[in-house]
Structure 1
Amino acid sequence: MAQNIQRLNPPELGDPSHYGFTNIVLVPAHQTLVFIAGQGGMNQQGNSTDFDSQLSQAFTNLRAALVAVGATPEQVVKITVLSVDHDARKQELISAARNAMWPGDIKPASTLIPVPRLAGEGMLFEIDAMVAIPTPEER
């Protein structure tokens, strides 16, 4: 039987769970690590023009990437979030989106980086992920 991924929030670091993440995630041996490239707000028709729509689409795209590798949100161990012209309103929206994808105590570690611009013209939000899934012999 596979060992469980551990999520830790030592008192010295505080509890960031209301923001939708965990301070420390420990991945046991015999896990396959999957690295998902940054997912933005682009759908098959292109980028939405507003932050809210791009945020929603980026999380939809991340879910699709997880399905493609046979993973679930609970197996995401680390995310990096990039937010153009970040402010308190965007922080609230990002926290709500993280909490919707990772309710309860099973949250990934997270880094949020405010940026002036992303790679694609008009991109306002991007999220990448590291995922730990049991190897076939551990499932």
Structure 2
Amino acid sequence: MTGTRFRHPAGGPDKTSGGNGRKPAAFTALSRPGYGTICLCYLLTLTVFLSPLALVMAILFADIGPHAFRAHYFYIRTSVGLLVIGAGLGCLMIVLGASFSTTLIFAGLAFVVLTVALTLARGVTGLSRALRCRPPRNYRSYFV
């Protein structure tokens, strides 16, 4: 043979699944910012326990995409931040109340409940805006 023949084009081997030339839909949806990823982040935030995963995704995509995407990711980050700070302070009040007074325990419990309610309200509001492909109304606010 006089020339070399390559199985793959000059760009390198094809990183797609199978021979159809397309990437898997799940990997594509999670590897770039978009309304699908934003809705997934809001759903993870609504579960409260998986909100750290939503925070990681929101940090990864914080500065990518148009302004509407960045507004949603900022809104998600502040929602998770409020959840962490509020739950931490409420739990601290509960622990300190065990030594000092029952009223402090109930105040800490109320603080945790209000924090979770605020996070759920922010998650539902953000999810409804993301499903309509609109940015949050006031994404810099700490309330709904």
The higher relative CO (CA closer than 8 Å, separation ≥ 6) is in 1
Q: Scaled by the length of structure 1, what TM-score is found?
A: 0.25
More strand by share: 1
